Chain A
Amino acid sequence: MTYTTIDHRPEEPFRPDSPGYEENFSWIKWVPLFLEVVLLAIGVFNLLSATAVEDKSMGLWKNQLVSIGLGVLATAVILIPHYSTFSRLAYTIYAGNIGLLLMVLAFGKTTLGAKRWISFGGLSLQPSELMKVSIVIFLAKYFERINVPGGFRLKDLMLPTLFVLIPVAMILVQPDLGTAMIICLVYGSMLLFQKINPRTLLILATVAGFAAPIVYTTGLKPYQRQRLISFIDPMSDPKGSGYNSIQSMIAVGSGQLTGKGYRKGTQSHLNFLPEHHTDFIFSVFSEEWGFAGCIGLLVLYVFFLSSGLSVAQQSNDKFAMLLSFGILSIFFWHLFINMGMVMGMLPIVGVPLPFMSYGGSAILTAMSGVAILLNIANKKYMF
């Protein structure tokens, strides 16, 4: 064994011992929270427009506000303990989330052909969403004590990959290709961040190249395959599976430079867009706010992510660094895949846009993620 086991717990609050640290960290520590609030506000505002039509009985935006309220509660709860608590509880959290996924498989609620939800009283929860954060905590904890000079080799990856594949497989069965993919991407990002042995990387890439066609023919459900086909050629079935992609691109494009104006988007209001309040929320925004608004939104996300990266970079231990990096990679991949999908660059997979898409579990996950970042950024000064 070439890696060494180390004690991850800080013995005392952080000492500002690196030069220039204070100026940097003091202002940046609340930036993610600030941007989160801004993005959530934009999200609710946008949702008001997106759901104006089908919102007859009760506003979905109210549900969203309730979710945000729960998110605030979760943020408060997460901010109380030191983040090292997550390190201690990492495996428990992982196991608990696996348990929730098992419950979904056993007695989950089926909606639109997928079994993704479990209800507690009146609340429905999507454990696959929470798994994104749980797996990051798990992996941060796992890799914290592992150091492989020259990068991970295959045998180093066996065990963590197995632990990742267990929830991935459970989520694929639901089926929720999007979430499973996000988990895999986050795992891959965390591995690359820590460096993989170049030879191993080459082997992995080759294997992936050979595995892809096999997965395509045997591992995908027909509708998933159809989505891929229609991604490559949306016009092959414009009213069928390519329909969403085309309508979504039309929505984004028709926004032009300045957009059609708030609540004046026709694509969403006239139901040309499916799921326009959840996965395709960005198309509603871009239709109404145009290129200017979209770039503004994109800049906000980039600021949010880079402020998060500063937090990660300047955290004082490996667990915190890996944890914050992992969480940021969740946000990044959500952002990239969702926007890419809405703009017709990527096949359609069910990936929500953080802070903007309607959905309690997604909001809760995003806000919890930010809360963990805040915890890492601020813990030295609290207590």
Chain B
Amino acid sequence: MAFIGNEEQTRELQDRFKYATLVLILGALILASRLAYLQILSGEQMRQYAEENRIKKVKIPAPRGMLLDRYRRPIVDNRPAFDVIATPQYLKESGRADEVLSRVASLLKVPVSDLKKKLSRAKGQASFLPVSLKENLTRDEVAELETWKLELPGISVEMAIQRTNLHGDVASHVLGYIGQVSPQELSKLNRGQTRKYNLDDVVGKSGLEKEFESDLRGVDGSELVEVDALGRSIQKRETSGRVLVQNREVPSIPGKNLILSIDQDLQDAAVRGFGDKTGGLIAIDPRNGEVLAMISRPSFDPTEFSRGIDSDIWRKLISDENKPLRDKAIQDHYMPGSTFKVITAIAGLEEGVIDENTTFNCTGSINLGNRVVHCHKKAGHGPVNVVKALTKSCDVFFYRLAQKLKSVNDIAKWAFHMGFGARTGIELAREATGLVPTEEWKQKRFGAPWSPGETLYVAIGQSFMLATTIQLANAYAALVNGGTLYRPHLLRAIESADGQILKEFPPQVLEKTSLQKKTIELVTQGLWGVVNDPGGTAHSQAIKGMEFAGKTGTVQVIQIRAEKIFAKCITLPYRNRHHGVFVGYAPIKNPSIAIAVVAEHACSGSMGAAPIAREVIKTYLQKYYPDLYSDSAIAERIRADQRTKNKSFEAPTPREVEE
């Protein structure tokens, strides 16, 4: 029977089951011993690995302190910015990366090739790390992307905190910008620092952001969060209500706020006044040295720097011949031109070589040895005293005055007293010193003795004499406050994030000069005439119903041959045009604002720089002194206007409206 053979074979095979059982037991033993090795022998270590996997210490970045104006209105703040990011891994897993990318491109209205370029640039990094496709999305773009979220796998909108200058490029040089700590500066920053920096931290790189870094920077907190293998934090609701770890959180401590002495209204007025002109402006309160306004044009937007600047924008900033990155209020020095005549007049009056009755006859030029030195007015000003000479900016008067002085050192002495030739000590770095020439200086510098003719040029603020805009403003401030030279400062106070004043900055006196009352009276009288006398050089800038004073200056940029001196500036190539300078103050009685403006290549002080100062002064007077208006109707209108406009802000502190 065929069955027998089958049975024989099955019996034969039955014998082999003992081997099968052996293999089974062997296999089970191998698995069991591996289990024992992993769970018993290395269990503890593995448990530790698992814990480290699960709980990640995540930094809670501390909000950086704000920069506030004198009425605590934010100037620099931290604002949310929205970026669209792609996670290459998820894009790839979705299997329709191309489709998704072209969808995103059409939503953002950018070429799809741009997005692909950004993705391919990130090829080197792990594919689960996000790649930013576009930063600073508009509200509409965010809305669009969120709407189509479900159809865009691997694409998400992320919020980032962006250091934002609320007024764009206004006062960027003062406020400064922040940036990520670079590997080069890391060790320098952390030297002696208890709160260490990491590479992804931000740090102030210029301006007040840099100078007050330790105040603005908060203390980062930390949080233990559960993360998955991709390092993504797990939302509590996704673990179906179970919280595996109690979130242990060390809260961050926000940075301190800086309350500046800046009045943003004046800043805006200054920008308005400048238009597209190039130059610097600084306004100081003569009574205490507080900086009320300070701008430099052209400028840059620090917001663009805060999250890494685009290389194209950077290159443009660097190559711009108007040097937008330089602070023209403190970092550049210029010949002060006729604005320096104030110092020469002070020197003459204080050294006793002239008095109010001293008159010189201006014929349009004087002879100096075999050379003829011209006044800016060809026909001459006729007989002028010191007041008239300042009002009309008569060069000849000051030439004659210079000739009467013992040496250039008499001018230099008073220039130093008024703060020239030295840094003012404002809180910002890289301030220029300017230059006050003396006989010793020339000997040392050029190895040649001072020639008396050179004093004439110094007397009208030309040749070697160099001053920064801030020095001019501060010198005039010292003149009009009775002779006290304050250190200009930008900070009124530092407050904690919850508004507690932590530190105040009282005025600092640099020097109490021995200026006589009479001198101040005569000089300021001349400065009043500049604006308010029909013959004054800046009479065209007078404000109807409201008086202010100042001095114009026009500075030649290049040596011009005699016959060209009176040629129209506007016909010159832009780079050869004169700089316009104006230094002024207001009100006439008890001045509370001194202002200096340098307008590069603006041709003249009266038409180039004075209108800018006028705009700021006008804004200032309207805001703080409506009662001083001679026309009561105007005053009333301004008061009404102020009431509606300033409702949300506190009124000016008594310190400013009193006196």
* Residues of chain A having any CB pair with chain B under 8 Å: 4, 6-8, 10-11, 52-53, 56, 110, 112, 147, 193-195, 239, 243, 247, 249-257, 263-264, 266-267, 269-274, 286-287, 290-291, 294-295, 298, 301-302, 305-306, 309, 312-313, 315-318, 321-322, 325, 328, 332, 335-336, 339-340, 343-345
Contact = CB atoms under 8 A, between A and B. Distances in A.
A272 B229 contact: yes
Given A252-B46, A253-B43, 12 more contacts: A6-B2, A7-B2, A249-B38, A252-B35, A254-B50, A263-B242, A266-B50, A266-B54, A270-B229, A295-B35, A309-B24, A316-B7
25 contacts: A7-B2, A7-B3, A193-B13, A194-B16, A249-B38, A252-B38, A252-B46, A254-B49, A256-B46, A257-B43, A267-B50, A271-B228, A271-B229, A273-B229, A291-B35, A298-B28, A298-B35, A305-B24, A306-B21, A306-B24, A309-B24, A313-B17, A336-B27, A339-B34, A343-B31
B41 to A, nearest CB: 9
Contacts of A257: 39-40, 43
Nearest to B35: A294
B360 to A, nearest CB: 86
Nearest to A195: B16
Range class of the B interface residue count? 35 or more
Nearest to A7: B2
Contact of B13 (A112, A269, A318, A328): A318
Contacts of A254: 43, 46-47, 49-51
A256 B44 contact: yes
Interface string B608-639: 00000000000000000000000000000000
Main secondary structure of the interface of B (DSSP, over half): helix
A276 to B, nearest CB: 11
A340 B234 contact: no
B659 interface: no
B35 A302 contact: no
B597 to A, nearest CB: 60
Nearest to B42: A253
Contacts, number: 165
B36 interface: yes
A336 B13 contact: no
B451 interface: no
Contacts of A193: 13, 16, 19-20
A56 B239 CA distance: 10
B367 interface: no
Contacts of A325: 20
Given A253-B47, A343-B35, A6 B27 contact: no
Contacts of B44: 256
B227 interface: yes
A11 B230 contact: no
B53 interface: yes
B6 interface: yes
Contacts of B234: 270-271
Contacts of B9: 6, 147, 318
B428 to A, nearest CB: 46
Contacts of A318: 6, 9-10, 13
Contacts of A250: 46, 49-50, 53
B650 interface: no
A6 B6 contact: yes
